[in-house]
Amino acid sequence: MLMRVAQIGSGTPEIAVLAGVHGDEPCGVRAVERLLEERPTVQRPVKLVVANEKALERRVRFVDEDLNRVFPGDPDAETHERRLAHRLVEELEDCLTFSMHSTQSYADPFAIVDGVDETAARLCPQLPVTAMVETENFAEGRLMTEIDTIEVECGQQGSESAAQNANRLMRAFLTAVGVLPGDTVSRDLPVFRLTDVVPKEPADTYEVFVENFTEVEAGAPFAAADGNEQVADEPFYPVLMSPYGYRDVFGYAAEKLEVLESPTAAD
């Protein structure tokens, strides 16, 4: 039992929804399970994948190593996640994939893409997200390096609102790509590009003083390790920044690029 794969609708799917890349992020799994129970009538087939069942069962981020850092994986690897990564790539190869995550850093949903291509620019403004983040140089080992992927952060890990957001985001995505019938609402979307990782020193306690997606001014203290403050050399936008979300880093620094204007609404 490496992962769970299901399908709604007949034919070969070009669209996939992916949940449970991280085992301690149950929001997407609930959305997928709910969709499978409801079995809505679809206009084109969709593949549904729950990835790291072993980690989900244990309620841990991963069993051996972070799945979203080991793509493309290897069928003969020693670690569970590297083998799983290889299988996932085989399974998702021909699909535009919508991958749901949750974080310890920020409650509002946002989208993460490798780069802003035509697909991302068209679809992301139709999702109920507050921002789009380009990972660009920080995508190594992520699913999006192998598969055409839109990732969404649905909210705070384990929260009821993250589960509700996952459900709303997934349905908006499936509507935008024509799996589910109906219309989406478009909104203007600010785009950020990751520029740096923000490392953290080994310490017992960590603090973050700033809000994600809100500019930090040069000279402002933004985080602390065991009470030692870290001060911004240059202005930046914090993204995915939290005291304990990652082991070695607080999160990322980003620059703000542009605001994608929602296309003129169709009548």
Q: Which of 22, 82 has the CB closer to Zn ion?
A: 22
- Identify whether the C-beta of residue 242 lies closer than 8 Å to the C-beta of residue 104: yes
For residue 51, which of 31, 23, 79 has the smallest C-alpha distance? 23
Letter string b/e over residues 215-248, b meaning 16 or more CB atoms within 10 A of that residue's CB:
ebeeeeebbbbeeeebebeeebbbbbbbbebbee
Q: Which of 154, 253 has the CB closer to Zn ion?
A: 154
- Identify whether the C-beta of residue 197 lies closer than 8 Å to the C-beta of residue 249: yes
- Alpha-carbon distance 16 to 113, whole Å? 16
Q: Judged by CB under 5 A, does residue 22 bind Zn ion? A: yes
Q: Which of 54, 101 has the CB closer to Zn ion?
A: 101
What letter does residue 266 receive in the DSSP assignment?
Answer: P
Q: Which of 22, 86 has the CB closer to Zn ion?
A: 22
- Alpha-carbon distance 164 to 158, whole Å? 11
Residues 195-254 that bind Zn ion (CB under 5 A): none
Q: Which of 26, 238 has the CB closer to Zn ion?
A: 26
Write phi, then psi, for 32 (nearest 5 degrees). -65, -45
Residues 96-115 that bind Zn ion (CB under 5 A): 101
**What's the min distance (Å) between Cβ of 21 and Zn ion?**
6
**What's the min distance (Å) between Cβ of 50 and Zn ion?**
13
Applying CB under 5 A, the span of 21-29, 82-90, 165-173, 188-196 interacting with Zn ion comes to 21-29
Residue with tokens 């070969």: 12
Applying CB under 5 A, the span of 49-57, 93-101, 176-184, 223-231 interacting with Zn ion comes to 93-101
**What's the min distance (Å) between Cβ of 110 and Zn ion?**
13
Residue with CB nearest Zn ion? 101
Query: Which pair of tokens denotes residue 231?
Result: 């001060």
Count of residues near Zn ion by CB under 5 A? 3
Q: Which of 25, 148 has the CB closer to Zn ion?
A: 25
Binding site for Zn ion (CB under 5 A): 22, 25, 101
